[in-house]
Amino acid sequence: MIRTFHWDDWTLDALMAARRETTVSLVVPARNEAATVGDVVTRVRERLVDTVRLLDEIVVIDSDSTDDTSAVAADAGAVVHRAAEIRPDLGTHPGKGEAMWKSLFVTKGEVLVFMDADLLDWDTHFVPGLLGPLLTTPGVDLVKGFYERPLGDAPYEGGRVTELVARPLISLLFHDLAGLHQPLAGEWAVRRSLFESLSVPTGYAVELAALIDTAATRGAEAIAQVDLGRRAHRHQSLRDLGGMARQIMAMALGRAGVATGTSTAEGAEWPERPPAREVA
């Protein structure tokens, strides 16, 4: 059963007490997000590092940006790494999942919190909200955020790939995850020990793959979700969403043992990285 919480179920003081010696890294994968990444880093740093030290580090992984994403993030106070320059001996692939997998080699936190870099309407309570179950609830290893996602003037019409692809796939193939509201949410947190044990698709299927594999290896009770309120971000075109949907469908069907003719293995169109703990 997926346990569900609300972001204000914990105070910052309670989380600081529960944290004890646990180290926490915020990871922001970013590609051509110079317009927004600075605000994301600045607000989190001021609230959760400078004022209350809930985070040990803020790390931006720049995934082949052609704009000033790296410079803006560094000026805002983040530690910045270019994904292609992390462990160059392992090669490099484009994609969000690649940036997140590579983050395991340059971060130190026992808990990793992931946030997207294109946030427009959000608040810093996202981070403590995601940490709440991991710091206070035994047996929880992965936490997903969910929220109201507006599209234009409609408050709940965002998340088109979630509603048209991910949730239908889950309801048909992965019943123990059916209680998840937004399985593709970019705001989530995970114990390093778990993420290091997972195979990671290098593209957009990373979030759903982590959920499927966690449920398969540790049970759905290891997953929790937290209502974070409202989130708005830059929306992609339908053409771009079509490519995202195809990646997610190929991964999910592959995990379910359904042959699609599309491989996610190394060297394929959307390669999949092995568990980081297996990489020398």
Q: Tell me the whole-structure pTM to 2 decimals.
A: 0.92
Share in percent of the chain as helix, strand, coil (round to 5): 40, 20, 40
From the list 278, 226, 269, 277, the residue with the least C-alpha distance to 250 is 269
Distance CA 231, CA 158 (A): 10
For the record, the structure tokens of 180 come out as 């998840």
Q: Where are the beta strands (DSSP E) in the chain?
A: 3-6, 24-30, 57-62, 79-82, 111-114, 119-121, 142-148, 188-191, 200-201, 223-230, 232-233, 272-273
Confidence of residue 244 (pLDDT cuts 50, 70, 90): confident
CATH code at position 96: 3.90.550.10
Model pLDDT, residue 242 = 81
CB atoms inside a 10 Å sphere around CB 128? 25
From the list 148, 128, 122, 178, the residue with the least C-alpha distance to 15 is 128
Q: What is the pLDDT of residues 49-59, one digit of tens each?
A: 999 999 999 99
Rounded alpha-carbon distances, angstroms, from residue 100 to 59, 116, 216: 11, 11, 21
CB atoms inside a 10 Å sphere around CB 46? 13
Q: What is the pLDDT of residues 166-192, one digit of tens each?
A: 999 999 999 999 999 999 999 999 999
CA dihedral 246, 86, 141, 218 (to 10 degrees): 60
Distance CA 222, CA 231 (A): 25
When pLDDT is averaged across residues 228-251 and rounded to a whole number, the result is: 77
Model pLDDT, residue 156 = 47
Confidence check: pLDDT of 24 > 80: yes
The SS3 assignment for 35 reads coil
From the list 145, 126, 107, the residue with the least C-alpha distance to 24 is 107
Type of residue at 51: T
Model pLDDT, residue 96 = 95
Q: What is the pLDDT of residues 61-115, one digit of tens each?
A: 999 999 999 999 999 999 999 999 999 999 999 999 999 999 999 999 999 999 9
DSSP symbol at 46:
I
Q: What is the pLDDT of residues 266-279, one digit of tens each?
A: 545 679 999 999 99
Number of H helices, E strands in the chain: 10, 12
What does pLDDT average to over the chain?
Answer: 91
Q: What is the pLDDT of residues 114-142, one digit of tens each?
A: 999 998 888 999 999 999 999 999 999 99
Model pLDDT, residue 21 = 95
Distance CA 39, CA 36 (A): 6
What is the tally of structural domains in the chain? 1
Confidence of residue 235 (pLDDT cuts 50, 70, 90): low
The range of the structural domain enclosing residue 248 comes to 3-278
Distance CA 78, CA 254 (A): 36
Model pLDDT, residue 265 = 54
